[in-house]
A and B are shown apart, each in its own frame.
Chain A
C-alpha cells in the first residue's frame, strides 16, 4: 500500500534571496545560468584591474572578510585573500585546523563569535559536506557566505573559474565535449563542474576513471561514465584532470599510483586522442607522474597557469556580486 503524501513545503534555494539574486555562493547546483554568466562577465572586467599598476577597486572598502578554513589549504585561501584585498576589504585569516568539534567549540559558536567581530563575509572551507549551508542558515542577514570547498560536495569558485577558462578558450559551451578524469567520487571540484557544465548547456560531460573512483550512479548527474581513457578522452575539447589523493591507495581504492598513471594518467599519447585544439586543465596542485605527465602539464595545450590567474578575478567577481545583494 502506497500512501500519497501531501506536498512538502518547497525549500528555497538558500543561496538566492526572494528576488533570485545571489546572496551566498554555496554550490553551482541550482545556480541559474544568467548568474553564472554575470559572474564570468564581471570577472572579465576585473581581469583588466589585475593588469593595472594599482590593482585595487574599492568595492568592499570597510568590509571584513573572514577566511575560515576548517581544513587546510594555503593555495585556495591565498587566492581568496588576494581577491578580497584587491576589492579593498580587510581580510582576516583563521586556520581552524580540522573539525570544529575536536576543538571543543562548536561550529556555530565559532560563527557566532566571529559575527560579533563585525564580519561581513565568511569564506568557508570545511571537511564536511554541507557545512557552509549550516553556517549560511545561522548568520545574520547582512553576512554573506562563500563556500571554498565542503567535503566531497562542492567547490563552486573552482568550478566558476574553470567555466571562465573554458569560455575564454572555447567561446561557446553548446558544442563541447568535456572529460573530467580521476577521482570523481571524492571530488567536490568534479561535482561543481558537472553542475556548471550541464547548466551552461555542454552536450557531453564525461567522467573517467576506475569503478572504485567513478561509480555508475554518477550517471544520474547527467554525465557519461567512462572506465577507459580511450573512451573518455576521444574527441574531447576540454580535459579536466583531478588531483589524486594519496589516501586512495591506502584506502584500498587503487593498487598503486603507478598503475593509475598507466591506465588513467594523461600522457601525450593519450592526449592525442582528443581534438587537436583540446585544452588541458587541472585545479592544482598537480602530481606529476601520477595523474599527469610533465610533458602535458607544461605543454602547449595546458592552461593550468591561466586558470590560477582567472581564479582571482572570478573570486573577486563572486565577492563583489554577493556583497551587493541583500538577504
Chain B
C-alpha cells in the first residue's frame, strides 16, 4: 500500500504548532500533503479520522525489549508490537541485554530483526564499557556505524571515576552522547526510596543523595570534558533542580523522567505491592510534583516509558527480591495526556494536548539530535516531505489497564486498574511507520 489518505482528523504537531482539522496524504512512506490534499491524489486506502487526533508517532527514549538473553520476559516481536500498539514509532533500547550490546555484530542483528518486523524504528544504545563492567571502553565508533545512537551503562554505575571520565572524553571525541542514570553505586543499593514509607515497611532505602551525588559528579565531568550528557530517569526534586542549574549554565545536558516517577509515589507501594518495585524507586509527593513541574517547564526534556517486561516468576516475590521494572510502552500516550490534564475530554484543550504530545515527540527528538541522521529533521514531527511516522488516536476513548490484555509480554504495571482504580483516556487506532501500518485498531473506533 503506497498511498494513504487520512481524512478529516485533528492534525497536531507540537514542533510546528500545527493544530487543525484536515487531511494528510502519504506516498511511499512520506507525508506528501498536510492540511489540504490535492484533488488528484489517488489513495490506495482512505482512513476516516473524524473525531480522532493525527499526531507524529511517539518517540520513547527508554525501553527494554529483552533481546537477546531475556526472551522469557520479552521478545523483539512482542515488544515492538507493544510499541506500535502504544503509538510509539521510534524506540531507544538499553544495552543491558545478555550478552550486553557491546559488539557491533549484536547491534546490527538487532537492527536487522527490527527492520524485518517493521513495527517500530529501533535505536540501540551501545554499552559504554565492555559488559557494562565499568573497566574498558567499547569500540564506540564501530558501534555507531552498526547503528548505536549513544552509549549507556543502563543500571550499572561506573564506580571508578577515572574510567568514567575517560569514557566521556572518548565519546566526546566523536560527538557521541553519553546516557547515564545518575545513581551512586553504594548509596543506591536499597529497594525503596528513603523516607517514612521505607522506614515503616522496613525496606532498605535509597536516599536522594544517591541521585544528587551522581548528578554533581557527572556535571563536573561534563564541564571538564565537554561531553554531551543525557541524564536518564531523574527521580527527585533535588535532581530536577540540579538539572535546571546545569542547563542555565549552558552545559550540554538533557534529561528525562519515567511515567512511573512522574505519576506515582512511595505511598503507592501499599502493602508491599511488587508492581511498584521500579528503578529509580518511587519517591515522595514533593518529588513527584517537582518532576511534573520540571517536565512542564522544559527542565526535563522527555517523558519515557522505561518499559521493562518482567516475568511472573521474577515479580511475584517479596518486594525486595522482586525484579525491578514495569511494562510501559502501551501506557505512555495515555499517561502523557493524564499528566498534561488533556485526558477525559472529547477534544482536548489545544495547549494541554500540545504539552502532552511535546514530551513524547519533539522533546525526545531534541535529545536524540544529530544521532538520528537523516531522520532528525522529520522524526517526531508532521512535515510535508518528512517520514510518515504517524499515530492516530481517539482522545475521548476511556480504558482501564487490564494487565492480561496488554500486547507486551510484560504484564506488570503499577497502573493496573486493580491497583489504581482510575481510567485512562486516549486509545491508539492506527500507527504508521514510514507509511506502513504497524498497528491497526480502526475497527474499534466507536462512531458517535
Contact = CB atoms under 8 A, between A and B. Distances in A.
B289 A2 contact: yes
A108 B272 contact: no
Given A11-B270, A11-B271, A130-B271, A99 B321 contact: yes
Contact of A5 (B317, B418, B419, B422): B422
Q: Most A CB atoms within 10 A — which of B194, B293, B316, B341?
A: B316
Interface stretch (B78-86, B87-95, B195-203, B428-436): B195-203
Contacts of A134: 272, 274, 316-318
Interface in A1-42: 1-3, 5-9, 11, 14, 29
B263 A5 contact: yes
Nearest to A153: B202
Contact of B202 (A2, A7, A154, A220): A154
A3 B318 contact: no
A19 B313 CA distance: 33
A217 interface: yes
A319 B332 CA distance: 47
Q: Most A CB atoms within 10 A — which of B263, B319, B420?
A: B319
Nearest to B339: A3
A286 interface: no
A3 B292 contact: yes
Contacts of A215: 199
Contact of A128 (B195, B318, B421): B318
Nearest to B352: A1
Interface residues of B, number: 35
B155 interface: no
Given A6-B421, A8-B421, A29 B318 contact: no
Contacts of A191: 200, 202
Contact of B272 (A29, A129, A185, A220): A129
A221 B200 contact: yes
Contacts of A185: 199
A191 B197 CA distance: 12
Q: Most A CB atoms within 10 A — which of B263, B270, B318?
A: B318
Interface residues of A, number: 36
A11 B418 CA distance: 10
Nearest to A184: B199
Interface in B317-342: 317-321, 338-341
A230 B320 CA distance: 37
Contacts of A126: 318
Contacts of A303: none
Interface string B432-445: 00000000000000
A12 to B, nearest CB: 9
A133 B321 contact: no
Contact of B320 (A2, A130, A218, A221): A130
A215 B195 CA distance: 10
Given A6-B422, A128-B321, A129-B319, A218 B199 contact: yes
B321 A108 contact: no
Contacts of A153: 201-203
Contact of B341 (A3, A154, A217): A3
Given A11-B270, A108-B316, A151-B202, A2 B292 contact: yes
A188 interface: yes
Nearest to A4: B341
Contacts, number: 97
Q: Most B CB atoms within 10 A — which of A9, A134, A152?
A: A134
Nearest to B267: A8
B213 interface: no
Contacts of B199: 185, 215, 217-218, 220-221
Contacts of A106: 313, 316-317
A107 interface: yes
Interface in B286-326: 289, 292-293, 296, 313, 316-321
A101 interface: yes
Interface string B269-284: 0111010000000000
A273 interface: no
A131 interface: yes
B268 interface: yes
Interface in A260-308: none
B419 to A, nearest CB: 7
A151 B319 CA distance: 11
Contacts of A217: 194-196, 199
Contacts of B194: 217
A128 B422 contact: no
Interface in A31-78: none
Interface in B199-243: 199-204
Contacts of B338: 3
A29 B194 CA distance: 19
A313 B320 CA distance: 33
B320 A128 contact: yes
Interface of B: 194-196, 199-204, 263, 268, 270-272, 274, 289, 292-293, 296, 313, 316-321, 338-341, 418-422
Interface of A: 1-3, 5-9, 11, 14, 29, 99, 101, 106-108, 126, 128-131, 133-134, 150-154, 185, 188, 191, 215, 217-218, 220-221
Given A129-B319, A134-B318, A191-B200, 14 more contacts: A6-B421, A8-B419, A8-B421, A14-B271, A107-B317, A131-B318, A134-B274, A134-B316, A152-B202, A185-B199, A217-B195, A220-B196, A220-B199, A221-B196
Across the A-B interface, give the 9 residue pairs with the lowest CB-CB distance, nearest first.
A130-B272, A153-B202, A152-B202, A9-B421, A128-B318, A220-B196, A131-B318, A129-B202, A1-B296
